[in-house]
Structure 1
Amino acid sequence: MPTPAAAPAPSPVALRRGFWLGALGVVIFAMTLPMTRLAVGDVSAPQLPPAFVTAGRAALAGLLSVLYLAAVRAPRPPRALWATLALSAAGTVLGFPLFLALALRQVDAMHAAVVTGVLPLATAVVAALVLRQRPSAAFWACAVAGCGLVLAFAAWQGGGRLVAGDGLLLGAVLCGAIAYVAGARASAAMPAEHVIGWVLVASLPLTLPAALWLWPVQPATPAAWGGFLYVSVFSMWLGFFAWYRGLALGGVVRVSQVQLLQPFLALLFAVPVLGERLQPATVLFALAVMAVVFLGRRMPVSGPVRGKAVAA
């Protein structure tokens, strides 16, 4: 990925808009875990194959993107951005959804929610390395504290025991972090909705034939197909309209920390979708994470590009 040029720090208005759009994206993404679990089922009652869900959700979102980009007459991305878009596609279209779907065959949505809670910290680390951003020690303290709360919650839920699906979930986290940073960089040069649109359209030659080839031969419940439609239209497409724009406006390192709330929102959504029970301790952890996110957004973030600050 080429080294980014220096960019001014976001204004207070842009930072505020970035956080609100990022929060909207997080709410949409929080439904991904329970809806994916609904789509693929579990080992005892499998529904749609994980590979089909991965290819099918990207193919459907890609077809919607063709209509959208044609309707708004979106210009083709500049040649310099195609490598960045390809990196975003590798994580967004393939890596994250595939690892997640495979893992959710083995673990429940609550377990997946707490393990993937490290995604904001992973995104901040990737952003700091790739974008040459320099968060303050206080910012890192807030990020690590939030990650620690998420891991403590995971230990409380599972007694500190790791399962085979955790490796798949951590693979999803790494793919998601890289894809978010790449998508945010592209969103600084073109509209966020165009970024995810072109990512999905460019992936169609792979995802559409794969979806048709992997089309399930075994019947699935209407609820499973409903979960598939949600992750296709919202998780794979519309959610990125808000998420990439939020990252571009407020800075990847800062806005990515809003995603610390995602595991707890996923737990809340799992109650009506999957019938899982919400325990009072979950609410306490959620409130603690919200406090850490609030403090983290106020900590200074700068970039060492010839003494100038970069967007953070």
Structure 2
Amino acid sequence: MQKPQEIVLAEPRGFCAGVDRAIEIVERALQKFGRPIYVRHEIVHNTYVVNDLKNKGAIFIEDLDEVPPGATLVFSAHGVSKAVQSEAEARGFRIFDATCPLVTKVHVEVAKLAREGYEFIMIGHKGHPEVEGTMGQLSEGIHLVEDVTDVAAVQPAQTELLAVVTQTTLSVDDAAEITEAVRKRFPHVREPKQQDICYATQNRQDAVKVLSGQVDLVIVVGSPTSSNSNRLRELAARLGTPAYMIDGAEELRHEWFDGIARVGLTAGASAPEVLVKDVIARIKELGATSVRKMDGIEETVKFPLPKGLKIDAATGLEIEVHKLPETGH
């Protein structure tokens, strides 16, 4: 029986700048204020990361009632609604917002256009915390569509001032198809200047498109709750390559590799590289002898930490940071 010979690594894969920043915010808060630090919702959708931070003293909650007065609270990378933000401020918690800046950009756009009288169609997955956070920027006038069928049923109060926004971790191809349906039904709809789907989601999907054609099987490292990881597995399968998503190496099954010569390996934007290394080691045990890294985009994006968490590693003292004025995107 053919056993795997080569592992091909997608490039880029794994952590994006928003995930890096969110995890660092929790770690810095623990370092500065001591345990426990409360985090509303999983900081990022990855089991390993969440368990690691729990061990360091983070407590993950869904309801602000679970946070004691005077505690330090971190909002997850997915963002929160205005109602959650207001309640947290009213309760007097020390708050650090780990919302990914690319999600915040969507929130800012929604607030700005709402002031100009716009209603919104949001493309996203119902119940996903990012969608709840973005839709929760307004009390009304934002309509969720999950697929093309939903577009036909949406009933905005007016169509003159209508804008479309999307969840940042969608399938690029699905979002384009749904946006096209919105455009057909509402020809005057305003679209974002730059698409809302983030650079990391786009890059990882583009890499999987290239990877799928070179391998017999694709393994995606990511947790079941991770939207962008699920999209990677679906994309590979849609391109005709068998694909499985796993939380870690222990979920690999040897029968997946029967008759497989080349294994493609990638990881969602919230999956750490340590898990990828474990998977490589396990596939090598099954017979793989070489690992090749695919050519791909090198990501250099870095997002600054919030005020109050910039610590000098050598002295442990907080660094005063003078930010340059932000330029428009």
- TM-score category by the smaller chain? under 0.3
TM-score, normalised via structure 2 length? 0.24
Q: Which is bigger in relative contact order (C-alpha 8 A, separation at least 6)?
A: 1
Q: Which has the higher helix share?
A: 1
Q: Which has the higher strand share?
A: 2
TM-score, normalised via structure 1 length? 0.25
**Considering only CA atoms, is the larger Rg found in Structure 1 or Structure 2?**
2
